[in-house]
Every structure is written in C-alpha cells, then in structure tokens.
Amino acid sequence: MSAFSLDPAQTAWCAELRALAADRLSPVAEKGEPGHVNRPLVAELGRLGLLDRLFTSGALDLCLMRESLAYACTEAETALALQGLGAHPVHVYGTAAQRERWLPGVSEGTTVAAFALSEPGAGSDAAALALRAEPDGPSRWRLTGEKCWISNAPEADFYTVFARTGPDAGSRGVTAFLVPADRPGLTGAPLDMLSPHPIGTLAFDGVPVTADDVLGEPGRGFRVAMSTLNLFRPSVGAFAVGMAQAALDATLGHTAQRDAFGGKLKDLQIVAHQVAEMALRTEAARLMVYAAAAAYDAGEPDVPKRAAMAKLLATETAQYVVDAAVQLHGARALRRGHLLEHLYREVRAPRIYEGASEVQRAVIAKELYATTTEEPR
C-alpha cells in the first residue's frame, strides 16, 4: 500500500469512525465533567472495540482512529489516546503477569491508564528526570519525588512511571515502573488547565516498587519512553489533522452561506485564498502523518525523524487552520459552546505535550546530522 493514499476499506472505516464518534461517543462526552476522567466514555470506547485495537493495530491504524475521532469528538479521541499512551509500555515491555493483570481492563474500558514522564523540571527535557528510585533491599526501590502535567492523573488506576535508579545523568540510569494507583505513599492533585481533559500532579513519598513492577530492564527506561513516543508522536499529528479538517469544513460551510459585501464570503478573493491555504496545509500535514506511520509499521530506520516531522508540521498546521477559521467566522466562533471555541482551546496543547515543537526541531536536526557523512567543502 502506498504511504500516501488509503484503500477503500480504510476510507470506509474512517467514515464509520466519524459516525460512531458523532452518534455514540459525543453524547457520552457531553455528560462528562471537564478536568476529570470520563469513565462512561472510556467504557463506551471499550464496548465499541476501539481500545482493543490499540494493541492489535499498527501505527497507521492508530492515526486513522485518532484523526477520525478527533473530527467529531475530541474528548473521545483523547480518552482513547491516553489509554494507549499509558498502556503501550505494558503491552510491549510488560511481563506476562503484568499484561494479564492490566491490559484486559484497559481494552474493556474499565481500567484507566496514564503515562507519567514529565516533571516540574523535566518536561520536554525528559532526560533531566529527578524522581528517585532509592534501593530498599534486593530488587526493591522506593520512589521519591514528583510528576507533573500527567494526563489522567490523579484518577488513573495505574501509571507507567519513569524514575532514576542509577547515578548516571541524562538518559542513562532511568527505569520504567508499572505503579498501581493504590500504592502507599502515592498521592495526586488535579490541575486546572485550558484543555478539558484531566491533567494533574503525582507525589511519590517512598512509594514501594519491586522487580515485579519493572517494565523492560532496569536502567533502560528511557528506551521504553522513547519507543512509546515514536509511535504516538505521529498520531498526535493525526489528532491535530482531525481538528484542522473539522475547522476547515466548518469554514467552507460558513463562507459559502454567509452574506457579506453584496455576495457570499467565499466570493471575496482574500477569503477564498485563505480557505485554499487552510486546505493545502491540512492535506500536507495529513500526508506527512500517514508517511511517518507507514514508516513505523515498516520498521524504517528514520522513524524518530519522521515522527518528529509529522508531529511538528501537523500540530503547527492545526493551530494555523483553527485560528484562521475563527477569524473567518468572526465573533460567533468565540462564543462558549461553538465548535471553533472548543477547537481553539483543544488545539494549543498538542504543540507542547509529547515534546514541544522546539524539541521536535531539535530531534529532526540531530537525526539529520547523525546521517551526514559528507566532508565539508
């Protein structure tokens, strides 16, 4: 299959997902409380079989799910993505016992997962982790420190937590742990954020963990984190593309119907050219997202560069498209409850989380120079 086109079955599946999001998921999402986990919504995703596909599909399918859901219901898209982000390390690096204990509940939508990487002083600089895993006997540690900006915290049922187990600085000496929410010493608090989905802090006061809680190998946790992000970064781009397409379609409808200056808005060349630019950028971002996902599924060696490029272009594009859509709609788009008011709040965060745009540029440059062997002239 070409990386730049979808076959009829994939196109039909995307249409089905949009319909499910509008008819089944959006009504449940509307009943949720902003800033809190919407467990009925997560359960509905499970009943529809979408959460199970997180573990049986490739990167391209993940992107198609996220783009399609985002188009009609951003809350459902985010709930699905957070389940995947928190549970993917367990799926790939967990022991048989860990997978059997946690993944069925994640797939059914009865267990809520979270990915706990960021800290107050280590957001985009993930290698600067300060959460300490202090030895407490053979193959036992106690976690002490804080995590911040954690989606689904403090309401998740378990957390994939990254802590420093060795003296090495940077990416070395970091271990990934699966930490159930009921472990003694683990507390959390919600944060009041612009985005409507739950985000909070976690405090670790000597939280006990053992070798049975390790994901992967001790000291190799940074690999767990980066492999997870390489999968999910293109799909963050897919989320952004879904929002951009929703904003574009709303703008097409509005400018075709809105009377202004003796005609329709679309008849003004400056408006028509603006809409054309929005469509151009959205399609370019979509193609780059699909290409990055296809490269991941094919096991290509340049996945980190492609993933960073896809997330960067798509999230920056979505910000541009949604902002332009608001401008063309005028004041009505800023009214609470309007689609574009909602998208305007949703679209800002993806340029920061899972590596800010500046970090993506740094990743791209690093990968480019790593493959440059030509002698300077």
Give the Å distances, CA to CA, from 315 to 186, 187, 236, 321, 360.
Answer: 33, 32, 8, 10, 11
Cα 132 to Cα 89: distance, rounded to the nearest angstrom: 20
Residue labelled with tokens 């469509």: 279
Q: Which residues contact 337 (CB under 8 A, 6 or more apart)?
A: none
Distance of CA 127 to the CA centre of its chain: 19
**Please, are residues 155 and 32 in contact by the beta-carbon 8 Å criterion?**
no
Query: Within a 10 A sphere around the Cβ of 337, how many other Cβ atoms?
Result: 6
Determine the Cα–Cα distance for residues 114 and 339; give it in Å rounded to an integer: 28
Sequence-ordered list of residues with C-beta below 8 angstroms from that of 344, at least 6 positions apart, any chain: 322, 323, 326, 333, 334
Instruction: Find the catalytic residue in 277, 354, 358, 375.
Output: 354
Q: Which tokens go with 275? A: 């809409």
The span from the CA of 89 to the CA of 111, in Å, is 15
Q: Please, which residues have CB within 8 angstroms of residue 353's CB and are 6 or more apart in sequence?
A: 149, 151, 236
Is residue 354 annotated as a catalytic residue, yes or no?
A: yes
For 173, phi then psi, to 5°, come to 80, 15
Residue indicated by tokens 């599909």: 57
Q: Which two tokens stand for residue 335?
A: 């009214």
**Are β-strands 113-116 and 158-164 bridged in parallel, bridged antiparallel, or unpaired?**
parallel
In contact, 128 and 121? CB cutoff 8 Å: yes
**What is the chain's Cα-based Rg?**
21
Max Cα distance, the chain (Å):
80
- The residues assigned a catalytic role are 354
